Amino acid sequence: MSQSRQLAAVMFTDIVGYTALMGKDEQKAFEILKENREIHQRAIETYNGKLIKELGDGILASFPTVSDGLLAAMKIQQACSASKELSLRIGIHEGEIIFENNDIYGDSVNIASRIQTIGIPGSILFSKKVADEIKNKAEFRTVSLGSLDFKNVKEPIEVFALANDGFPVPKRSMMEGKLKKKDFKKRNVFAALAIILLIVAAFFIYKNLIVKNDKAEVIDKSIAVLPFVNMSDDKEQEYFSDGLSEELLNLLSKIPELKVIGRTSSFSFKGKNEDLRSIGKKLGVANILEGSVQKEGNKIRVTTQLIRTTDGFHLWSEKYDRDLTGIFKLQDDIASAVVKQLKLKLLTRTDTIDSSINTEVYNLILQGNYFIEKRDKENLDKALDFYLQALAMDSLNARIWAKVAHCYILQISWSRIGRKEGMQKARIAANKSVELDDKQPEGHYALGLVKMWDFDWAGAETEYKKVLDLDPGNADALRSRGFLYRAVGRFDEAMQLTKKSLTLDPIKPSTYFNFGQLLYHTNHLEEAIVAYKKVLELNPQFPRAHIFLGKVYLLQGKGELALNEMTQEAIGDWRSFGLILSYQALGRKKEVDSLLSNYIARFSKDNMYQIAEIYAFRGEKDKAFEYLEKSYTAREGRLTYLKGDPLLKNLKSDPRFSAILKKMNLPED
């Protein structure tokens, strides 16, 4: 996968009042969204920019120069003004960004989006870096709005507004975007007291039910492996440096006495120049392993260092020069040295990677691992292709069979492949992995996922237990076992396992999402809100997070808040599902009937369980059971929500509900 870093101007735009319009007139809202897209496409193309992506009613774009970005922004605002129906806020920042797979990443994206939030209709706001670039250009007039502290931005940023004729400049008192508390307007005493009470309540919830990141308990025998830096001239070799880091993490995680932070949390710091002491606090670890990899031909140089996070002291460092044929011995050497420094038991030979594996096969596995983490269709296809190539070269490797099985399951989960076809392939691959080597945890994990999708709850639990016996620090297995316990109604055990998973991978959005679902199912609604908001803080585009947060608000009787969340969902079928529920709660029957008819016509093939939820919420029990039966016949994965689903509460006393539970091998309450 190509990846490059370069300086660019980042523009983020957002439609003012779109959520309210969506609630009043969905058709009109979609028309405005289309007009907004066309206006942006014309202006961005005119000024040499690139439309990166749409985020709900927001648009992210990049430009080679600040002047290009500002001229495009002016063109866009002028077109919106002429339209009379479209009002935008625009924020711009310049900085280094990472281009990867037609997307961009980096702090500059976050800063541009934050600046946009404090604007007013028609305004164009930008950072001091942008203002400095244009200070000698007569065509731009600017005015400083002062330095502001934005949420999730480390240092205050001086913000400027374009003051050319026709472009409004917001007053300081009007700014109520994503700012830290000290920048909000002062409230009256009673409001302040209310906020304090809410903060105290939230703190109690967070302390007792959600693992904290920034002040996590630090355990002496704990470590995070940060992604090694690729120092090779060929940037395409990044998969190799990432893969080496992940293999070391896997080796260390098999030591029962050692707390090892999971991949997602460790790799979230990739490319960020953050102080290791700060990372240690966020992850709750006493030690960090970092390093670099330089690969040239069949030679490799790996530099590693082990750092104590409390004071930044270097406990150990080493440089290794090897042939690639010695890569497995190299991994063992590094892991053993780390263990020795932490004064733990050395790894036994049964815990190491099979050193007989072909180097080319190993390379293919690492490339598959790199792409599988991306989760989108294109990258899952690439991951599967690399795993199948590896399998063609080494068909007796249990680990590769497990990777293939897991990839098929992910393709099913993300609707990338048909369930029947995908499950058959995943089942064959997972069973083959365990048959070849029943001491390999990845095979048992894949087989556990297969059995859970087959509603074989006892079989799935057996497989997850085997994983954790072989690899006690496997956060994914803990999370999946917690998901299993939630599905069968063992909610207390599910809570314990999910919390433990969070301690091992404390900033993984999907684990917080599972935690939110568990809290939603057990009627801990305020805590569920905190969990879902945490998901969106870690990943603002996390699929379905807005929907499930909206469902919590529905249970609380807060229809307008629910509607606001549902309209922010980016996935079309889920957004429509959420709008139907919200309109039903708000008594807008005519709109519900129209949307539901359209939803069934367009999405019923893959969303029968959601249709059952809608009918149950409407009080139409016969229709709800009709679609639950269809969902069971299709073996939809979402049937794992059945036990304890609050939207199906009014069906539970009906004998038909007991019959479905029995068919799914689920116990009755």
Residues 607-643 have pLDDT tens digits of: 999 999 999 999 999 999 999 999 999 888 889 999 9
Predicted local distance difference test score (pLDDT) of residue 222 = 87
Q: What is the pLDDT at residue 629?
A: 96
CATH 3.40.50.1820 fits 3-182, yes or no: no
537 has pLDDT over 70: yes
Who wins on pLDDT, 168 or 615? 615
CB within 8 Å of 478: residues ≥ 6 apart? 468, 497, 498, 500, 501, 504
Domain spanning 216-355, CATH architecture: 3-Layer(aba) Sandwich (3.40)
Q: How far apart are CA 571 and CA 260, in angstroms?
A: 34
On the question of pLDDT at 20 being above 70, the answer is no
pLDDT at 87: 86
Q: How confident is the model at residue 347 (pLDDT cuts 50, 70, 90)?
A: very low
DSSP string, 154-184: SS-EEEEEE-STT-----GGG--SSB-GGGS
Give the pLDDT confidence score for residue 387 in this predicted structure.
92
Provide the 8-state DSSP code for 602: H
Average pLDDT over residues 35-47: 92
Q: Provide the token pair at 229.
A: 């830096």
Work out the percent of the chain whose per-residue pLDDT is above 70.
86
Q: What is the pLDDT of residue 195?
A: 40
Summary mean pLDDT of the chain = 83
Indicate whether 265 pLDDT > 80.
yes
Predicted confidence (pLDDT) per residue in 114-134, tens digit: 899 888 888 999 999 999 899
Q: Which of 204, 224, 212, 214 is nearest to 475 (CA)?
A: 224
Asked whether the domain spanning 216-355 has the same topology as the one spanning 3-182, the reply is no
Render pLDDT for 408-445 as a digit per residue (tens, 0 to 9): 998 887 666 777 888 999 999 999 999 999 999 999 99
Q: Is the pLDDT of residue 81 over 90?
A: no
**Predicted local distance difference test score (pLDDT) of residue 21:** 67
Residue 271: pLDDT over 90? no
What is the predicted pLDDT for the residue at 339? Answer: 65
Query: In the structure, what pLDDT confidence band is assigned to residue 236 with cuts at 50, 70 and 90?
Result: low
Work out the average pLDDT over 370-394. 84
Listed by start position, the domains of the chain span: 3-182, 216-355
- Give yes or no for residue 658 having a pLDDT over 80: yes
Q: How far apart are CA 337 and CA 331, in angstroms?
A: 10
pLDDT of residue 180: 63
- Please answer whether residues 87 and 121 qualify as being in contact, where contact means their C-beta atoms are separated by less than 8 angstroms: yes
pLDDT level of residue 472 (50, 70, 90 thresholds): confident
pTM of the predicted structure, to 2 decimals: 0.59
Whether 184 has a pLDDT exceeding 60, the answer reads no
CA atoms within 13 A on the CB side of 447: 27
Q: Which of 273-282, 559-568, 650-659 has the lowest mean pLDDT?
A: 273-282
